[in-house]
Structure 1
Amino acid sequence: MRVFVCEFVTGGGLRDAALPESLAREAALIRDAMRRDLAALPQVSEILLAADDRLPVPGAVAVTAGADAWAIWRTLAQQADVVWPVAPETDGVLARLVEMLRENCACVLACAPEAIAAASKLETARRLAAAGVPHIPTFPLAQAPDLAGPRITKPDDGAGCEDTRFWPEGVPATPARRDGLVIQPFVAGEAASLTVLAGPEGVQLLTVNRQHIAVEDGRVFLAGLTVGALGDGDGRLAALAGEVVRAMPGLEGIFGIDILLTDAGPVVVEVNPRLTTAYAGLGAALGLNPATLLPPFADAATTPRAGNRTPVELALA
């Protein structure tokens, strides 16, 4: 079986633009974990890869200045039996990438188009509100009501903490750019994320991860995370994951849900319809190869067992 790992950031998607160091670091962590897990599978005969030539990888097809990364990915997808893509939602990149790959390979491990489209912050909030799932109210910045207290602004289709800013109470929210931004009330709580597996057999909460969020000059960023740091003794977080999947049909495979653990209970911040950085520590936290949880590589003998996880620290800054 030939598997094409199509990671957008390190794979040439930003070859003719500046390559943000933090974004590239997180993307490389995810990519390398995917390659490591696939390399351990006896049914995988070859791992195909493209790499921005500023971030060379031995054996990868180099994407050089001026090259058409999308054409290179298309060719690799046609050569593969399975494609496993990762990309940010920003500017619709993830949706376009998955669509292109599905036109060129019969087996693409990705969420359905409707789930990717629903990952817009505004659409996610609308879907969750309609389903009665606890979430943070979200408004277009240009049409927002007056919000008391601190606030957060971020891109509607952004990934991670991209362009995310904290605005203290009494300070007008005046980011340098206003188009495509949303605003949310700041909600106090412990920042966490859920790594979730969804498929024909149902929804399973794999790990609950503690996020180490920092604020510097109003800029919000993820300084690191501890994969598998938190438990779910009462099952509320597993139930929340199931509610999110029901509210957003098409979430499949391994994906992430950002949450806040508040005094009133867990609240959904956003949904990431793709692998997140937590995947880099998932195997060690679970004590198994997470690739074996996906249909093309499934191994019933490695189904995660309920119980404690081994916390895995990932430093990102």
Structure 2
Amino acid sequence: MRVFICEYVTSGGLRDKPLPETLLPAALQVRDALIRDLETLPGISTILAYDDRLPKPSEDSVPVGKGDDAWICWSGLAHEADVVWPVGPETGGVLARMVRLMNESAERLIASSPAAIDLVSSKLRTAQVLAQNFIPHVPTYTLDAVPADLKGDLITKPDDGAGSENMRAWPSREALPRTGRLVVQPFVHGTPVSLTVLVRPDGVTLLAANQLHLSHLVGVLSLTGVTVGAIDDTDGTLAVLAQKVVAAVPGLSGIIGIDVILSPSGPLVVEVNPRVTVAYAGLHAALGISPAAFLPELIRDGRPPAMPHLPRPRPVELDLR
């Protein structure tokens, strides 16, 4: 079985732009982890495209050079593959476009549905769906709808941003910017956590709860690292929360991320990532097994064995600086 790993940044999606220093380390770690995990499975080989400004990841990788159309290259490679695993940012509809393209070319995708991606790509719409389903979450507003009585530190971020992209902190409502496609959230004190969740037709499994490490420099918040498997969920609270979020957003599939704040009042959902996040890069080491082994798309008849009981993950540090 041939699997085309199409990670947007490393596969040439930004070939006509400078490579982003803030995104590249995480993108490389995720791509390389996917390659390692897939190639440990019997009968699996990988197909890769790569931005030719980066080192060649394997001998038969296909370069995307200056002037090349990465999307045409990817479509051709998807036709050659049995399975495609697209990974990209939600920003600007990139991930949804990737999935729609691959759906035209490949029989099997390891991906959420375009409808699910479109929904959770908007932090505002995600918060509205969570509220409709009585799931505790961080309140989210547009710039022109911030309540007058919202006091204290505030966070702004693009409505369709990925991860900590362009996330800023502000001391008050009065200090907020006046324009932009931004959402506003109150700054919630607590531990920032990313849940790595496996979504299959037969159920939802919390694979690891990971502590996020953020830097705060002159109002700019950045993700500097992740401790995969650092958070204990002995009582199952986070696993139940993950199940509720997946039930509220039909079409989520594969290995996804759910960002949460562990506040004094309990866990609050911040956003949903309909794809693997950077925590995936440490998941195999934390679990002691390739998480790709649990994906039905990689089983020829589409019916993987039942999920085993997983031991508590061993904490694994990822440095993104």
TM-score higher than 0.5: yes
Instruction: State the Cα distance separating 1:315 from its structure 2 match.
Output: 0.6
Instruction: State the Cα distance separating 1:309 from its structure 2 match.
Output: 1.2
- Structure 1: 5+ residue stretches without partners: none
TM-score, normalised to structure 1's length? 0.95
Is residue 311 of structure 1 aligned with residue 307 of structure 2?
A: no
Tell me whether 84-93 or 145-154 shows the greater mean CA deviation.
145-154
Instruction: State the Cα distance separating 1:94 from its structure 2 match.
Output: 0.4
Instruction: State the Cα distance separating 1:112 from its structure 2 match.
Output: 1.1
TM-score, normalised to structure 2's length? 0.94
Instruction: State the Cα distance separating 1:43 from its structure 2 match.
Output: 1.4
Matches of 1:69 and 1:281, distance apart in 2: 28
Question: Given that residues 287 and 310 in structure 2 are in contact (C-alpha distance below 8 angstroms), is that contact kept between their aligned partners in structure 1?
Answer: no
Matches of 1:10 and 1:185, distance apart in 2: 34
Matches of 1:306 and 1:96, distance apart in 2: 34
What SS does the corresponding residue of 1:122 show, helix, strand or coil?
helix
CA gap of 1:53–1:261, structure 2 versus 1, over 3 A, is same
Matches of 1:48 and 1:291, distance apart in 2: 16
- Structure 2: 5+ residue stretches without partners: none
Residue number in structure 2 paired with 1:9: 9
What SS does the corresponding residue of 1:22 show, helix, strand or coil?
coil
Question: Given that residues 56 and 62 in structure 1 are in contact (C-alpha distance below 8 angstroms), is that contact kept between their aligned partners in structure 2?
Answer: no
Residue number in structure 1 paired with 2:67: 66
Question: Given that residues 154 and 173 in structure 2 are in contact (C-alpha distance below 8 angstroms), is that contact kept between their aligned partners in structure 1?
Answer: no
Matches of 2:183 and 2:143, distance apart in 1: 5
Matches of 2:109 and 2:155, distance apart in 1: 35
Is residue 173 of structure 1 aligned with residue 176 of structure 2?
A: yes
Instruction: State the Cα distance separating 1:131 from its structure 2 match.
Output: 0.1
Question: Given that residues 286 and 304 in structure 1 are in contact (C-alpha distance below 8 angstroms), is that contact kept between their aligned partners in structure 2?
Answer: no
Question: Given that residues 212 and 227 in structure 2 are in contact (C-alpha distance below 8 angstroms), is that contact kept between their aligned partners in structure 1?
Answer: yes
- Counterpart of 1:37 in structure 2: which amino acid? D
What SS does the corresponding residue of 1:212 show, helix, strand or coil?
strand
CA deviation profile, 1:78-100 (whole Å, cap 9, x unmatched): 11110001000000000011000
The 5-angstrom pairing of residues 17-166 of structure 1 reads: 17-44=17-44, 46-57=45-56, 58=58, 59-119=60-120, 120-146=122-148, 147-166=150-169
Structure 1 runs, 4 residues or longer, greater than 4 Å off:
298-302
Instruction: State the Cα distance separating 1:47 from its structure 2 match.
Output: 1.1
Matches of 2:174 and 2:286, distance apart in 1: 41
Instruction: State the Cα distance separating 1:296 from its structure 2 match.
Output: 2.7
Matches of 1:198 and 1:154, distance apart in 2: 27
Aligned residues: 314
Instruction: State the Cα distance separating 1:203 from its structure 2 match.
Output: 0.7
Matches of 2:216 and 2:272, distance apart in 1: 21
Tell me whether 32-41 or 58-67 shows the greater mean CA deviation.
58-67
Tell me whether 275-284 or 294-303 shows the greater mean CA deviation.
294-303
- Counterpart of 1:314 in structure 2: which amino acid? L
CA gap of 1:103–1:213, structure 2 versus 1, over 3 A, is same
Question: Given that residues 86 and 94 in structure 1 are in contact (C-alpha distance below 8 angstroms), is that contact kept between their aligned partners in structure 2?
Answer: yes
Instruction: State the Cα distance separating 1:301 from its structure 2 match.
Output: 6.5
Question: Given that residues 206 and 304 in structure 1 are in contact (C-alpha distance below 8 angstroms), is that contact kept between their aligned partners in structure 2?
Answer: no
Instruction: State the Cα distance separating 1:179 from its structure 2 match.
Output: 2.4
- Counterpart of 2:14 in structure 1: which amino acid? L
Cα-Cα RMSD: 1.5
Instruction: State the Cα distance separating 1:307 from its structure 2 match.
Output: 3.6
